Every structure is written in C-alpha cells, then in structure tokens.
Structure 1
C-alpha cells in the first residue's frame, strides 16, 4: 500500500470511530426519519384532497401535537399512578407465586417426576425484579434526558417534513452519478416499507391495547389501564414485548387469593389475543408490509440492543426493514443477480467512431451520447443521475 492508500485507510477508521461515538444521535435521527415518513404519508393524502403542501403539513402537525397533549393530560397521569402501584405489588405477587409453587410441589404425586425446587430461585428473583422495574420507572421519571431526546426528535421530524425532497436530494448526491437514479428508487422502496410498517404496527398495537383492556376489565383485574397501555406499547417490540406484557397482569391476578383461577384466565386471554393478532389482524393490516422472518427479527433485536441499548431494541424492527430492502435491491438485484450472467460487449464503436459503454445490469447501465459535454456537471440534472442513466 502506498502513502495515499494508508491515509485513506486511516481516514476510514477515524470516520467509523466518529460514527460509533455519535451512534445514539444517529438513532434519534433515524427515529425522526421514521416519524417524518409516517407523517408525510398523511400529508400526501391531504394534498390529494385539494390542500397545498403548506396547509397539509400544518394540519398534520397540529393534529399530532393535539394528540400528544391530550395523551399526556388524560392518559399519562393515571398510567403513572397505576404503574407505581404495579411496581409496588410485584414483590407480593412473586411471593404469592412462590407459595403456590411450594404447595404444588408438596402435593405432587409420587409416581410423577419430581419438580425442581425453584423456591430459592424465586426468592433470589424477587429483589432483582423489584430493582429492574424500579430503575425502569426511574429512567422514564428522569424527564430531563427524555424530554431533550423527544424534543430533538420532534424538531428533526418537523424539519424533514417541511421539505423532504431537499434532504433526499442531498443524500442521493452522495453517490456516484451513474447510480443516483437507482438510489432514488431504493429510497422510494424504503419509504413505502417504513410507511406500511408504521401504519400496521400502530393499528395492531391499538387492537391489542383495546382488546387487552376489555378482557382484563371483564376478568376483574386491577390496574386495567396500565396493563392495556403496556400491552400496546410493548407490541412495538416483537417476540420480547408480548411475553413481557403478560407478566404484569398475571402478577396482579395472583394477589387475588379468593380467585386463583384469574391468573390462568389472564394467560389464556393474552394467548388468544396474540393468536388473533398474529393470524387475523397482522396478515390483513400488514398485507403490503415487508415480511421479516421471525428468526431474522429476533437476531436484529439482539444485535441492535447489544450495540445501541434500549433505543436500538425499540428501533430494531424499522432498521431491519430498511436493511432488508437494501439487501434485496442492492446486494441481490444489482450484484448477485448479474454475478454469472453473460454480459454484453463492454466496448462498442458507433458509426461516428465514438466509443460507448454498455453492461447487462439495467440499473447500472450508462452511456455517453455523441453530443454530450464531458465536463457537464451531472448534479445539475433535474433527476439525480438522469443525464447519465438509461431507464431500464
């Protein structure tokens, strides 16, 4: 390697180090992109009804702000109160679970395999659970950090929503001119995938929250609002969220000594709701969503949570959606599909004697017209890369 290559390698390592140091800010920016994409879909629908862009953006932002104000004024105060009570009841619920398991173990038939002694495990688990959920509440109670992050996300969302095309063009121009039209197509695919995911996850979360609240109210479980909201919010975390959401109502149900069957009824209720959501609601609502394999989703959650913490866990699914679109469009279509394909002649000569370049991949096909000016700046074209790129 010569000196220039070494300098380039050092600059690359330094750039990767800087990106790693600001990874939390980049995740907040990605959260703003997701919100801006969802709100931009609403803006486009309003534009189709006859409103101009400015009025549609103003109306969408006003409705969003009004929704959050009503949510924090009406829903959040009782939720915090009930969540505090829920955290206080967790030790009692775990102790009740230990007693029930001890009774079952003592009355276990001798001809069946013996149950393991898990009473010590529950005793060790009780302070851990109390500490974890106490810290969980303390994190959300620390309003300064959360408020600053939410404010940053909202400001970035509004900036992107006002003129999304400008930010899109800046991003597209970071790529070589011959590939800009293709990047623009990939961004459109990502926008559609994110919009479908966000709309689908909002509807399914609302469905789970409402159905959980109604079911728990019928069963007579305490703290219905806290349980229902937690079930809806944790639905944003696939695989892990639904499992966590059932722990809270089961723990509270175990405290009702007069009706021990309620804990089993809560488990059955949540299983029924999750199956209805998985096999009926999700296929209907998310018919156009980018489908992710369960194993891929779980691996994405583990990877992003390991690298980026709780924020990475929350944004694991949209990040996986974007990654899948990029892999499908760039790696598979633009690279692997043409790996062994016979290519056209690389160099041809036109009747005028001007050499032209042609390749088999229509997304990467480039040509130089006879009357084109080689010094023309391709960034001045109306569509990124349009002056150099043939449409497929």
Structure 2
C-alpha cells in the first residue's frame, strides 16, 4: 500500500514537472481555446442565418484575419515610423523634468536635498523609457518565435472551430462519468463568461482609443494617434495598462508645456472613470464580476510565472478559473458539506445497494 502511494506521488510530481516545462505551449493552447470560443459565437450567429457550419467557419476566420490584416497594413507603417520620434520626445520630457528638479533643488534652503543623488535615477529613467517605447512594440514584431506561435494559435483555433463538440467530449472524458453532465454545464458557463468578457473588452478598447485620440489632439499633444492606439491596446490589461498608457503622452506633453502634461493626466483619469463607471457596467453585464484586488494579484502572479504572455492572458484565465472554482469548489463541495454535491450525484447514479 505504501509502495503504491509512493508511486502515485512520484507520478504526480513528474506530471507537475512536465506541465511546468510545457507551460508556454499550454498558454498558447489556452489562447487558441479562448479565440475559438469567442469566434464560435460568431459562427453560431451565421448558422442561424442558414449558412452551413463549414462555410460559416470559413467566413468567420477569413473575415477576422482580413480585418486584422487590413488594420495592421493601415496602422503599422505609420506607427513604426513614429517610434523613434516617440522615444525622442519622451527623452526630452525626462530632460525637462530633470531641469525643473535642479531648479527646485536650488530653491530649497539648507541641506534638505543635498544628500539625494539623482544621477543614477535619471539614467535608470532614460533606460526604462528606451525599453518601454521600443520593448512594447517588439511584442508585435515579426520575430521568428512570434510568427511561429501566432501560426500555431491560428491553426489550432481553426481546428477547434471545425468540430468543437468533438474536443469538448474528449475533455469531458477526464471527469468521472457521474460528473460529466455537471462539467458540461460548467463549460457552458465558461463559454458565456469568455464571450461576454471579449465583447466588453473589445468595445472598451475601441472607445478608449477614440476618446484618447480626440482628447490628445484637442490638447495639442505630439503623436496623438500613436498614444491613442497604445492606450487602447493597454486597456486589455486592467489596472496596469491604464497606468502605463499615461506615461508616454505625459512625457511628450512636457516638451510643449507643463500644463499640458497635467491636462493629459486629468484626461486619462476622466477616461478611466468613464470606462469603470459607465462602459464596464453597461457592456460587461455577462462578464464574471472580478474583484479589483484579485485581478491585480492574478496579473502579478501570472506575469511572474509566465512572463509577458501570462500578463496578457491573466484576466481570461482568471475568468475561467473563477467559474470553475465557484461551481466545483463552492457550490458542489463547500455549500453542500459534509456530503458534497458530487457525492450525492454519484450515489444517485450508482443506485441503492452499492
């Protein structure tokens, strides 16, 4: 008996090790599943119009890829050409801050700020600014690994869309027979949550891009389109994204005048208030409600373990995990303790006398 437990423990540790080694592939697989889940919602809409599933899948995939390709072809050239100018303007903003700090330091009497060394601070800020302006766009560059990962996600997404029920049945086989019906219901809840989240976040990204662009253009901030697109893309990352998106336009506004930088910060605060208090409650009614602290901690944890891809996928992962935790752990075990719901289901399936 002890030997069997030892073997089971060793196999469990080996499984965890294998899963950790292939964590990048698992994240890409989850990305494909999330895309397929959202696109399947569009496929079903087309099927309701009388279009066969095969044709509906083809139209959906070609339509989405066509829209993305057109957007990249229209935006990318001008966006990439503006990156050096963006970095230069941000550098000028840092220099302006350094000059003001030197003037302020000279106005302070005594030795209040005399012992504060700022040389390393400005150097680190410049390095961070350089890495920020170039590093963010490197995520979307045409590196070999990125292209291969993107192709893998696209291919797997199309495979999942072609026959989603077959893959769903295979996944349900991992559960005991008595629990498969319940697991199927949980998968449906996960699908609804992901679709609702995708619709909501997509709408928010578009609205914030438009509001940011109009506001920055009205304030006369350099490169309003670049900063607006950056703000829209970073909306995908709650909490962290809005904070990061305000840095480049604020630094660029400093090259014009101090009040413009203050106006940019106020503009972004107003836009975020509109998003959190108006757009999110209005559009994301179907989304699983996530507590802000849980959202932030999940982003930090996934970023620490899985890097930048983990940071981008943190929210959809938490959406799915919360649905499973609520259904499996809370409703089926904790709320029905001391006899969990799954045990009652098992007893009813086996019948009396077992």
- Tell me the TM-score normalized by structure 2: 0.92
The answer to whether the 8 A contact 1:338-1:360 is kept is no
The answer to whether the 8 A contact 1:334-1:363 is kept is no
Tell me whether 1:329 sits opposite 2:311 in the alignment: no
5 Å-filtered alignment, 1:31-50, equals 31-50=31-50
Q: Normalized per residue, which structure has more helix?
A: 2
| 1:366 aligned residue (339, 348, 352) | 348
- Tell me the TM-score normalized by structure 1: 0.83
The answer to whether the 8 A contact 2:299-2:315 is kept is yes
Partner of 2:215: 215
Partner of 2:268: 270
The 2-side partners of 1:299 and 1:360 are apart by 31
Shift, 1:47, TM fit: 1.6
The answer to whether the 8 A contact 2:209-2:232 is kept is yes
Shift, 1:238, TM fit: 0.7
Tell me whether 1:26 sits opposite 2:8 in the alignment: no
Deviations 1:71-92 (A, max 9, x none): 1210111111122321233322
The 2-side partners of 1:117 and 1:150 are apart by 47
Partner of 1:380: none
Q: 1:116 to 1:17 in 2, by over 3 A?
A: same
Deviations 1:231-281 (A, max 9, x none): 01111111100000000101111111xx33111111111011000111011
CA-based RMSD of the aligned residues comes to 2.5
The 2-side partners of 1:106 and 1:192 are apart by 60
Moved more, 280-289 or 74-83: 74-83
Tell me whether 1:86 sits opposite 2:86 in the alignment: yes
The 2-side partners of 1:122 and 1:143 are apart by 32
Equivalent pairs, count: 351
The 1-side partners of 2:146 and 2:107 are apart by 50
Q: 1:361 to 1:118 in 2, by over 3 A?
A: farther
The 2-side partners of 1:317 and 1:364 are apart by 34
| 1:338 aligned residue (336, 339, 342) | 336
Unaligned runs of 5+ in 2: none
Shift, 1:135, TM fit: 4.2
5 Å-filtered alignment, 1:103-252, equals 103-107=103-107, 119-120=118-119, 122-133=121-132, 134-252=134-252
The answer to whether the 8 A contact 2:178-2:349 is kept is no
The 1-side partners of 2:67 and 2:90 are apart by 32
The 2-side partners of 1:274 and 1:252 are apart by 20
Moved more, 56-65 or 87-96: 87-96
Shift, 1:96, TM fit: 1.0
